């Protein structure tokens, strides 16, 4: 496909100079002519041209003045100044006036040189216009989405951004700020996340701002090709985060209400089963049915208690504790005996006499859960090892078992709600470890887990 023929306007009061341009360009370019600024304006009002070749001295005006008038008729019109008095000073003034290039008239006698310059200048102008259009579209898209742009540069590192960026972070007037100043806009843990992301090739961080309560932003970006700096966008996601929080709170509240209201009818079922179990008129089959009812009711009670605990944690109330002085050795020993009988597992203990101020029922909940997990997931050929020790100001309860190694990804999510280990779906709803960790946090302690490549898994509860 042939390229569209270029149209060039030659504005020059010298007939000979205009004729030289016609001869140099007429084979590849449509040449229009004007002898002064007024006639040049008239031509542009009639049709659009790709380029103007403008005499730098066009009486009674000078080239820069004429170009300014022409640009009011056709904005963005590319221009090459021509002058019979070639000098560096004129070239500088021409470029300041907005010309694409400057060419002495003596060079017009070289048709090939002029044609190449015209073609190259028009191509550059078209490319610049295309870039400007894309930038305008991008700016419109950003404005419609409410997004801001940002970039990093300099040593020491700084962040730059336009007005929307400044508004989102409530930064002082300007368009460039020290990195340390920007990071103070975030809550501490989110600032650390962003610092880590800026050390990588891409950035994807949702963060809460410290100075604007309830404001959340989503930062996306990437490293410049072959460089160290980053550029990206930021949008305000406060509304979606607030809606998400409201939905979660409503779900948790409904869960809490449902769990609480189930306790009364369940208590009636348990009491009825206990009364039936005392009856002397039941045959063996009926006693087994009553026993199953009692066991199922106990299991439902545990599940409801877990859901209520989850609701307390999620709604911000935390777990209530009834602290008293507790002798841990007999408490743990009794839980070990229960697990031995119930799970028929070999358990080795290494318990030291230790007293702590804690909630004995809640600690029993933690230790029992860790023992049951070890019995459920551990290799029966190996014993479960339970250790109670003092480590300086801390008290540590460790439960160790051998079995299948837990991979790193699973370890990270093991304490999250509704996460279950393999083969655990029949036993519960995946809240045991989550609640156990929250119990330890309520005591000011912690619950952690490690798993080695050879399958040794250790849960460590620290007070």
Lowest mean pLDDT among 24-28, 122-126, 203-207, 332-336: 24-28
Element (H, E) at 67: helix 63-73
Which is nearest to 81 in space by CA: 60, 97, 59? Answer: 97
Tell me which CATH code domain 241-314 carries.
1.10.287.130
Tell me which CATH code domain 6-142 carries.
3.40.50.2300
Give the confidence band of 400 by pLDDT, cuts at 50, 70, 90.
very high
d(CA 74, CA 45): 8
d(CA 237, CA 216): 5
pLDDT in tens, 40-74: 999 999 999 998 988 888 878 787 888 888 989 99
pLDDT in tens, 147-188: 788 899 988 899 998 888 888 888 999 889 999 999 998 988
pLDDT above 80: residue 415: yes
Before 156, cis peptide (omega within 30)?
yes
- Second CATH level (architecture) for the domain 146-236: 2-Layer Sandwich (3.30)
d(CA 303, CA 38): 90
Element (H, E) at 295: helix 284-314
CATH 3.30.565.10 correct for 324-462: yes
Angle at 49 between CA 45 and CA 52, to 5 degrees: 100
CA atoms within 13 A on the CB side of 306: 21
Count of positions (residues) in the chain: 463
d(CA 187, CA 210): 5
d(CA 434, CA 416): 6
The residue extents of the domains of the chain are 6-142, 146-236, 241-314, 324-462
**Residue 455 is encoded by which pair of tokens?**
């399958």
pLDDT in tens, 196-209: 988 888 899 898 88
pLDDT above 50: residue 1: no
462 forms bridges with which residues in the sheet?
A: 396, 446
pLDDT of res. 422: 52
Number of H helices, E strands in the chain: 14, 20
CB 159 within 8 A of CB 179: yes
Residue bearing the bigger pLDDT, 116 or 462: 462
Residue bearing the bigger pLDDT, 143 or 24: 24
Which is nearest to 323 in space by CA: 346, 355, 284, 286? Answer: 355
> How, if at all, do strands 384-391 and 347-351 pair?
parallel
Exposed, middle or buried by CB within 10 Å (0-12, 13-18, 19+), for 56? buried
Average pLDDT, the chain: 83
pLDDT in tens, 283-328: 888 888 888 888 777 777 777 776 776 666 666 666 778 899 999 9
């Amino acid at each position: 496909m042939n390229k569209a023929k270029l149209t060039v306007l030659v504005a020059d009061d010298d007939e000979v100079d205009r004729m030289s341009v016609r001869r140099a360009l007429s084979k590849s370019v449509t040449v229009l002519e004007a002898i002064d600024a007024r006639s040049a304006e008239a031509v542009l009002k009639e049709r659009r041209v790709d380029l103007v070749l403008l005499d730098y001295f066009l009486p009674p005006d000078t080239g820069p003045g004429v170009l300014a008038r022409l640009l009011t008729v056709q904005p963005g019109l590319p221009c090459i100044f021509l002058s019979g008095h070639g000098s560096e000073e004129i070239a500088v003034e021409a470029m300041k006036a907005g010309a694409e290039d400057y060419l002495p008239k003596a060079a017009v006698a070289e048709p090939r040189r002029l044609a190449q310059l015209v073609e190259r200048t028009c191509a550059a102008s078209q490319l610049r216009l295309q870039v400007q259009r894309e930038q305008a579209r991008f700016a419109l898209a950003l404005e419609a989405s409410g997004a801001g742009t940002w970039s990093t540069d300099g040593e020491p590192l700084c962040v730059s951004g336009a007005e929307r960026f400044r508004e989102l972070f409530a930064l002082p007037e300007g368009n460039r700020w020290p990195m340390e100043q920007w990071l103070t806009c975030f809550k501490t843990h989110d600032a650390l996340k962003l610092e880590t992301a800026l050390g990588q090739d891409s950035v994807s961080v949702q963060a809460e701002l410290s100075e604007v309560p309830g404001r959340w932003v989503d930062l996306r970006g990437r490293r410049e090709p072959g460089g160290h700096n980053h550029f990206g966008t930021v949008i305000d996601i406060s509304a979606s985060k607030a809606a998400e929080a409201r939905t979660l709170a409503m779900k948790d509240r409904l869960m809490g209400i449902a769990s609480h209201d189930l306790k009364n009818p369940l208590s009636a079922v348990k009491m009825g089963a206990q009364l039936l179990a005392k009856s002397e008129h039941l045959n063996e089959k009926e006693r087994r049915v009553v026993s199953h009812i009692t066991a199922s009711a106990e299991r439902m009670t545990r599940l409801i208690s877990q859901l209520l605990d989850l609701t307390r944690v999620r709604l911000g109330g935390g777990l209530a504790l009834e602290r008293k002085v507790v002798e841990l050795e007999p408490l743990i020993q009794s839980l070990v005996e229960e697990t031995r009988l119930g799970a028929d597992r070999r358990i080795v203990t290494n318990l030291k006499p230790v007293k702590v101020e804690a909630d004995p029922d809640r600690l029993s909940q933690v230790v029992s859960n860790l023992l049951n997990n070890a019995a459920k997931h551990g290799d029966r050929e190996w014993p479960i090892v339970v250790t109670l020790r003092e480590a300086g100001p801390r008290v540590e309860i460790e439960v160790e078992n051998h079995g299948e190694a837990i991979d790193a990804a699973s370890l990270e999510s093991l304490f999250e709600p509704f996460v279950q280990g393999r083969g655990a779906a029949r036993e519960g709803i995946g809240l045991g470890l989550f609640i156990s960790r929250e119990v330890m946090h309520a005591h000011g302690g912690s619950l952690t887990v490690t798993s080695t490549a050879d399958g040794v898994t250790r849960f460590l509860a620290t007070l």
